[in-house]
Structure 1
Amino acid sequence: MADEASIDPAEVTGEGVRRRDFINIAAVSFAGVGGLAVLYPLVSQMSASADVLAESSTEIDVSAIQPGQAIKAVFRKQPVFVRNLTKAEITEAEKVDTSSLRDPQTLEERTKEGKTNWLITMGVCTHLGCVPLGAGEGEVKGEFGGYFCPCHGSVYDTAARIRKGPAPKNLEVPPYEFTSDTVVKIG
């Protein structure tokens, strides 16, 4: 009978175990909610802000750019050159033997199909990041008629391919698409 007196009646009915389980579940749930409350601001602050999202793409109306002209625009706080190539510039670019180039690419690889007259490149020299000349009215275009970097003398042709100087690569072509015949969306 002494053994029966030492048995807790709550253990026999199972109430003690249920109460303990409830406390454990409540504590773990509270810790989980607290962990989420701490992690959410840390994760959400890593997402792009509204001003960055606004600059993630740029639309340019190219209807006013005449053949042989180029404009400078801004994409992600960097200059972009949009150039309307003439038939003579296209012919000259297509005549170049790509195996002789430091960074071999054809004009077709650097433009969109059916729009080979529109060359869109980042306006940043691949040597040390200077802005090449050649997109503005009266600027020096270099001996190949494209772009000339005044910082260290890199010379690009009409397809913005490196032809001379220290730059290791062609001017970068950003991702872009024509949303209509006169509007291009970069980014």
Structure 2
Amino acid sequence: MMIRKLRLTWLLVIGGILVACTNASADLSTNSQSNIAKAQTSSIPNYPPMYDVEVKICDNIIAPVKDGKRCIKHKLRLWGLVEEAKLVRTGIPLPSMSAVAHKLAISSKGCYPEYSQPSQPQFYWADLLIYVNKRGAKPTIEVNKTQLSNQKIHELMTSQFSTPRIATFGGVGCKPLPVPVKKK
């Protein structure tokens, strides 16, 4: 009977030691994970502002009708705050045609990934061709922008899977406008 009590006491003592060690190691692993996260955060450089931008052009354009409106949406990823977006006539207004070709010009510091860092603030071409009807009001342009976090920009910059091009830019996209655009 005495041996049984002695074994039970030893089991309780060993169990208490194991529980105490387990809690301490759990605290250490939690602290080490917290320290690793802090170290990673401090090693991320500060990047210039980058924005996900959606441009919506509606009304007097040639586009499919959806929800009773003619609209085209275009997504961009741009360095710096977007100051202005406008349509610039690139086509010749022919008498036999009811619409004229326009391209979207957007002011920023360049587009990602075409520009791996901000460039000169100016107007850049978005790779988007829009046909605007000759008659009627000017199309409306709505710009919605969302600033990316520094962490998200870091992930984009260091991603092994990032491609040199994204679907929204190609061809002559994101080239600076050759001359300043006059306001209409």
Structure with more helix by fraction: 1
Q: If each structure's strand is expressed as a fraction of its own residues, which one has the higher value?
A: 2
Q: TM-score, normalised by structure 2?
A: 0.35
Please give the TM-score of this superposition, normalised by the length of structure 1: 0.35
Higher relative contact order (CA 8 A, sep 6+): 2
Larger radius of gyration: 1
